[in-house]
A and B are shown apart, each in its own frame.
Chain A
Amino acid sequence: GDSVTQMEGPVTLSEEAFLTINCTYTATGYPSLFWYVQYPGEGLQLLLKATKADDKGSNKGFEATYRKETTSFHLEKGSVQVSDSAVYFCALGNGAGSYQLTFGKGTKLSVIP
């Protein structure tokens, strides 16, 4: 079945540091890929998405590129802020395969001033 693997946390960075959170997936067909973010005390929010190979999703300074050849969708941000502290979930949606949204286990990011 479909699966998502993302780097284990927690990740602690200083403000303005570069962020990469790795995400790889296994899926049949041509899934859509998502990054969700959960800020402390809040619900899950969609951060960005990509629906086909080589698409780049971007939002709030975060980017991720759908790489079919490496089955990856790594999240990056050039300069993190304290307000980026949250748990980040990589997810896969595959209407042609397993119809559930498959999530990674989440990566907790803490940004210190």
Chain B
Amino acid sequence: GAGVSQSPSNKVTEKGKDVELRCDPISGHTALYWYRQSLGQGLEFLIYFQGNSAPDKSGLPSDRFSAERTGGSVSTLTIQRTQQEDSAVYLCASSLVTGAEAFFGQGTRLTVV
């Protein structure tokens, strides 16, 4: 596609429910990143994919968070048993190669009530 596409753009969920956030990167981009931006905060790195593998999962805040990428393209970030502190904007970005400029999606605003 022309840009990085994320869905849904907004998600309101009840505490304890599972959510899935989707990212469709720019076609041909091998690197894919997930970040979290909490209200008034900077960007918190969550996970990075090179192709389908995730060499760096160090940023995932707990074992309730997981992510996968299939076919070297679409990625899904899953949060199990959501908590109120998970409320944030989840940003996905892709780049042609590792370390190159990243292009960001519009983000998914997650609100846990």
Contacts and interface: CB of A to CB of B under 8 A. Distances in A.
Interface of A: 31-32, 34, 36, 42-46, 49, 89, 93-96, 98-106
Contacts of B100: 32, 93, 95
The 9 closest A-B pairs by CB, nearest first: A95-B99, A105-B42, A93-B99, A44-B104, A95-B98, A103-B43, A43-B106, A99-B98, A100-B45
B93 interface: yes
Contacts of A46: 101-103
B60 to A, nearest CB: 12
A93 B99 CA distance: 4
B68 interface: no
Nearest to A4: B42
Contacts of B103: 46
